[in-house]
Amino acid sequence: MKQVKFKQMKEGDKEDYLLLKQYEDKYFKGTADRIIKALKHLDTSLGGYQVSRLEHSLQTASRALRDNASEEMIVASLLHDIGDELAPENHSEFAAAILKPFVSKKTCWIIEKHGIFQMYYYAHHYNYNKNERDKYRNHPNFQDCANFCEQWDQASFDPNYETVPLKDFEPMLYRIFNREPYSVK
Ligand SMILES: [Fe+2]
């Protein structure tokens, strides 16, 4: 494998950086494959629920699919908890950062804020403010985020639900993550 000549970035010349660009372009095309791998990993995270995190993610995306959501919203639903493993304290932001270059600002916002909106269903049991989401009450995406949580996310812990398998979502993942980055407004 060809390598650059430099040992410090500032020593690199145009030839070096054009070489790196070739590797980068090839590597970026594998993003969807790496996301699928990360999703499969969710099978072992967070115990105590009746379904695994992967099953929960698939269920959330299945409901979005069956409600005729947009393709990017279905993919966002599938990824919304992908940060649980590496960023449990800010998993919403983690998922939003992955999606950001490939989806609309609105879809990104819904995923970024879903953790706060989701508190509505459980926070009072820990003596936290369940209405934390109210600070976004006047935001244009408030209702869509509330709907995401109510209809898809909080409802998707059901071991008896007929979940769509990951394989069926893969073509959508490839389409979304092969979009030109930041081309969707
Ligand atoms: Fe979730």
58, burial (CB in 10 Å: exposed 0-12, middle 13-18, buried 19+): buried
Q: Give CA 171 to chain center in angstroms.
A: 16
3-class state of residue 171 by DSSP: helix
Please give the distance, rounded to the nearest whole angstrom, from the Cα atom of residue 155 to the centre of ligand 1: 9
Q: Dump pLDDT digits (tens) for 4-43.
A: 999 999 999 999 999 999 999 999 999 999 999 999 999 8
Give the span between the Cα atoms of 38 and 152, in whole angstroms.
21
Q: Dump pLDDT digits (tens) for 81-113.
A: 999 989 999 999 999 999 999 999 999 999 999
Alpha helix stretches (DSSP H) within 89-135: 91-99, 105-118
Please give the distance, rounded to the nearest whole angstrom, from the Cα atom of residue 30 to the centre of ligand 1: 25
Residue 173 pLDDT more than 90? yes
Please give the distance, rounded to the nearest whole angstrom, from the Cα atom of residue 185 to the centre of ligand 1: 25
Please give the distance, rounded to the nearest whole angstrom, from the Cα atom of residue 157 to the centre of ligand 1: 9
Please give the distance, rounded to the nearest whole angstrom, from the Cα atom of residue 183 to the centre of ligand 1: 27
Please give the distance, rounded to the nearest whole angstrom, from the Cα atom of residue 154 to the centre of ligand 1: 7
Give the span between the Cα atoms of 135 and 132, in whole angstroms.
6
Q: With bands split at pLDDT 50, 70 and 90, how would you rate the model's confidence at 76?
A: very high
| Complete domains list, the chain, with CATH | 13-177 (1.10.3210.10)
